[in-house]
Structure 1
Amino acid sequence: MTTALVPPPAVGGLTRRRLFVYGLGSVGTGLFSTVPGLLLLYFMTDTLGVPAGIAGLVVALPKAWDAVFNPVVGAASDREAVRTGRRTRLLVAGGLALPVTFAAMFLSPMTGTGAAAWVTVTFVLAASAFSLFQVPYVALPAEMSPVPSVRTRIMVWRIVFLTLGILVAGGAAPLVVDAAGGGRKGYGAMGLTVGLVIAAVLLVPALGTRWVRSRPGPEPLGLVAAFRTARGNRAFFALLLSFVLQAAAVAIMLAAAPYVATYRLGGYGLTSMLFVCLVAPSAVAVPLWAKAAGRWGRLRCLTVATCGYALGAVGLFPAAGGGGTVSVALTLTLCGLLGVCYAALQVLPLALLPDTVHADTARTGQVQSGAFTGLWTAGETVGLAAGPGAYSIALASTGFVSSTLDHPVAQTATARTGILLGFSLVPALLMLLSLPALRAYGRRRAARETETA
């Protein structure tokens, strides 16, 4: 079992140490991507007393800012790389700023409207700091090797570490909240603890990937020129659209997990179990999906995983809605099966992304890994924001009533049904909607290969 969790050995001249140093950063990105999506909405509605509709806006608006800011960071990262041959400065800046701003999100001294304003400002700052690290970090694999199979191996290392980060976020963060006494005190302790971990795991790759030679160009492009050059890469945008829809589906399910645990399965304490069952299998499944992709093709395996996730999500509607011990067992089992599919949804799109960057270089003669990863992370941010935002709207429209820890509120049957829909049928629908975009990507890629043959 241990060997399944260890990524493959060094490939294409990349040592295990270098792959480890690079992959470690994904522990931090996994923590930041997961904890706010899992806990921030619930923290505001059920601890700070922020109405669900306002809380949803607070979660969504900072992410909307990221959709604008990430492409700017991407162009800046390419300009830095043209000047210095590295992307280190932005990586270090993000690694230093993110831990502080992350902890501040969960240290609001106020409730109600004041708390909403506090979380909005700190979340915008944290999301901006995250972009400074994430955009150049995602650009590095395209520059670490020109060989597609080697880049897939790099992604395996990265996603194994990302899975560990997500597991820590979903499994340990709620436990830290409870262990520290719950309420604002518990969430504050969790924010400080996770912030320290983020600092440690981001600065290692920020400084340890200086060996990667980044050579975009031949000339640095401004933001407008980068967009103008990139817009003809239709395969990239088809792949991005499918990834955004899938990210939104997963984000909605994560946002729904504490509500389902509390109001459908019998207790908030089940949140960690739901999350671990959803994510833990992917630690084992990532290397298996990489092997399957090598045999049957990355796009085919991604399509199968997407359909499997949709079917499993549909099954959660009757499973989590039944009540009792049997309902809990069925829900946890289905989450485990979803975790296997989730592994492919994480590793395979990121393995395909550098292919579109290299294909664009052949098309335009311009290397701009940062610009494309800026667009990619902007799209991912939109998907991650749309999930909790849409879920909060669903909660508000079905009559969910916010509360504080000291004054819990019983929810209506309609609100309880809305909670369940966001955990099951809505994610399933979004997964199915991503399939036409995947087919479009396949057609564009095939057409490109025919043109270059």
Structure 2
Amino acid sequence: MIAPVVSAPTVSRGVRLGYGVGSFCTATVNAVPGLLLLYYMTNFLAVPAWLAGVVVTAPKAWDLIINPLVGRWSDRTRSRMGPRRPWLLAGACTLPIAFFLVFAGPPLTGVPAALYVGACFMATATAYALFEVPYKAMPGEMTHDYHERTSLLQWRMIFIGAATAISGVLAPAIVSSQGANGTVGSYRLMAATIAVILLVAMFGSFFGTARAPMTGAPEADRGGWREQFAAIKGNSAFIWITALACTQMLAVSMMLAAAPYFAAYTIGTPAATQTLFAALVGPMLLTMPLWVRLSKRFGKRGAMVLAALLFGGGTAAAVATPLFGPLYAHLTILVVGVGIAGVQLLLFSMLADVIAADAARTGKRRAGVLTGLWTAIESGVSSFGALIFGVILSLGGFIESEPSTPVQQPDSAVTAVLIGQTAVPAVIIFASVLMTLKYRLTPPVGPGPDESG
């Protein structure tokens, strides 16, 4: 694969901030349902754990259709706002409403409640695609410089850290504001608050990227689906970065779904969800400059291996939480946070490299198609994390309930929570380390283009 040598324009700080704030959408829409939706359905709507896992997973199959479509449409869009920003506006107008409806809490339980949540979550996935797919395509078109893309995305990751803090600390705090375990009303209040934050952040990104540079992006690829998929099939760097993202985000989604259960049944207090997320998010806000330097020192692949080892090592170590207690659990999650910070920054930076290299090699603008496929596949595969964890809970004998009729979980269910939070995700993460070694796209060397396998 060819990585071009091009002098990149400087992306202003205002544009970096404007672009970065859009990450509130990325982090919040992934984190809040990933963290709270399964627990909300099993413990408040009396939905069986396996069915709740299906509800969280099923709408993601729609991503495989809608995300590539939005990417293709945005590639071909011509407007005074550029090809991507009209879609950012469409997502900003629809996503906050759909998100609120997921947690609106109608007077339903069991299967009817599962059907309602599933329909609203499907609408959320559609609105999310309208914003997120074009949004992720933009960095590869703002600059062609290999390392400036990492620097640009550093701002995005800082906002992801802030949004994750809001998702993982503020959202559970609002839920527990009306009782330690929360109420349907407190979930509704949480959803309204997060929806307002989404609205402000997404419009902020739309207006903040108005002056974003475009690096002479080529014409959109006008080929049909068959030609575009055939070209992507031969793009080895894209295939491997997509497979790597799927593997790592599968582990992340499992841990998000397991976090409230881990806090309630392993640590012994639901409120620990907030402090665990504080331990996770802190490194994301503080270590981004370090990961930028490490990527320059060891290359993006080397830095990714280090990040994944920290991520997996902290996750595996958390299995000993019943022996060493809550403080130990928080220390292991701190290590996980350092690893996740590097993993997420490098994933998005490597994707932007692949998009820019593809444009240079083919002379076609396919950023939207590539990003749409990447987002759809990654989102679809990672959504199985909640389903896998739901199945683990069911195998462990977890008993669904409503707040008015709490139940005592059997020891097997408590063990299942621990395994689903630690051992299984750790195995998945360590597998991603081996996959990282297959990534071959490197920075330009010398006066000519760099050839990478």
- The interval holding the TM-score normalised by the smaller chain is over 0.9
The residue identity in structure 1 corresponding to 2:47 is V
In 2, Cα distance between equivalents of 1:409 and 1:18: 51
In 2, Cα distance between equivalents of 1:240 and 1:153: 21
Q: Bigger CA drift: 347-356 or 361-370?
A: 361-370
Which deviations, in whole Å up to 9, do the C-alpha atoms of 1:174-193 show, x marking residues without a partner?
11112245211010110111
Q: Shift in Å at residue 135 of structure 1? A: 0.2
Which deviations, in whole Å up to 9, do the C-alpha atoms of 1:328-353 show, x marking residues without a partner?
01001110111111100110111111
Alignment match, 2:5: none
In 1, Cα distance between equivalents of 2:187 and 2:114: 15
Answer yes or no: is the 8 Å Cα contact 1:216–1:369 preserved in 2: no
Q: Shift in Å at residue 223 of structure 1? A: 3.5
In 1, Cα distance between equivalents of 2:226 and 2:103: 36
- 1:227 equivalenced with 2:232 (yes/no): no
In 2, Cα distance between equivalents of 1:85 and 1:282: 31
Answer yes or no: is the 8 Å Cα contact 1:173–1:190 preserved in 2: yes
Alignment match, 1:179: 177
Q: 2:276 aligns with which of 274, 277, 295?
A: 274
Alignment match, 1:436: 434
- 1:102 equivalenced with 2:99 (yes/no): yes
Q: Bigger CA drift: 375-384 or 26-35?
A: 375-384
Q: Bigger CA drift: 40-49 or 212-221?
A: 212-221
In 1, Cα distance between equivalents of 2:420 and 2:239: 27
Q: Shift in Å at residue 50 of structure 1? A: 0.4
- 1:383 equivalenced with 2:399 (yes/no): no
The residue identity in structure 1 corresponding to 2:190 is M
- 1:88 equivalenced with 2:90 (yes/no): no
- 1:35 equivalenced with 2:37 (yes/no): no
- 1:255 equivalenced with 2:252 (yes/no): no
Larger helix share, 1 or 2: 1
In 1, Cα distance between equivalents of 2:45 and 2:423: 29
Q: 1:406 aligns with which of 399, 404, 407?
A: 404
- 1:72 equivalenced with 2:69 (yes/no): yes
Segments of 5+ residues of structure 2 without an aligned counterpart are 1-7
TM-score by structure 2 length? 0.92
Q: Shift in Å at residue 222 of structure 1? A: 3.9
Q: 2:149 aligns with which of 137, 148, 151?
A: 151
Q: How many residue pairs align between the two structures?
A: 438
Alignment match, 1:190: 190
Which deviations, in whole Å up to 9, do the C-alpha atoms of 1:8-27 show, x marking residues without a partner?
xxx94222111111100102
The residue identity in structure 2 corresponding to 1:148 is Y
Instruction: Write the mapping of 1:356-367 to structure 2, written as runs, cut at 5 A.
Output: 356-367=354-365
- 1:23 equivalenced with 2:25 (yes/no): no
Which deviations, in whole Å up to 9, do the C-alpha atoms of 1:386-443 show, x marking residues without a partner?
1111100111111111111111111111111110011111111111111232111138
Answer yes or no: is the 8 Å Cα contact 2:75–2:367 preserved in 1: yes
Q: 1:289 aligns with which of 277, 288, 291?
A: 291
Instruction: Classify 1:241/1:114 alpha carbon distance in 2 versus 1 (closer, same or farther; 3 Å).
Output: same
In 2, Cα distance between equivalents of 1:340 and 1:308: 7
In 1, Cα distance between equivalents of 2:353 and 2:16: 19
In 1, Cα distance between equivalents of 2:218 and 2:70: 14
Answer yes or no: is the 8 Å Cα contact 2:50–2:390 preserved in 1: yes
The residue identity in structure 2 corresponding to 1:150 is E
The residue identity in structure 1 corresponding to 2:278 is V
In 1, Cα distance between equivalents of 2:271 and 2:54: 26
Q: Shift in Å at residue 374 of structure 1? A: 0.5
Q: Shift in Å at residue 263 of structure 1? A: 0.9
Q: Shift in Å at residue 217 of structure 1? A: 2.3
Q: Shift in Å at residue 379 of structure 1? A: 2.3
Which deviations, in whole Å up to 9, do the C-alpha atoms of 1:31-81 show, x marking residues without a partner?
111000000000000011100011000000011211222111111111115
Answer yes or no: is the 8 Å Cα contact 1:236–1:441 preserved in 2: no
In 1, Cα distance between equivalents of 2:302 and 2:167: 30
The residue identity in structure 2 corresponding to 1:206 is F
Q: Shift in Å at residue 278 of structure 1? A: 1.4
Answer yes or no: is the 8 Å Cα contact 2:246–2:378 preserved in 1: yes
Alignment match, 1:7: none
Alignment match, 1:242: 244
Answer yes or no: is the 8 Å Cα contact 2:310–2:338 preserved in 1: no
In 2, Cα distance between equivalents of 1:294 and 1:382: 31
Segments of 5+ residues of structure 1 without an aligned counterpart are 1-10
Q: Bigger CA drift: 95-104 or 402-411?
A: 402-411
Q: Shift in Å at residue 148 of structure 1? A: 1.1
Answer yes or no: is the 8 Å Cα contact 2:18–2:207 preserved in 1: no
Answer yes or no: is the 8 Å Cα contact 2:218–2:365 preserved in 1: yes
Alignment match, 2:414: 416
In 1, Cα distance between equivalents of 2:441 and 2:309: 19
In 1, Cα distance between equivalents of 2:355 and 2:300: 16
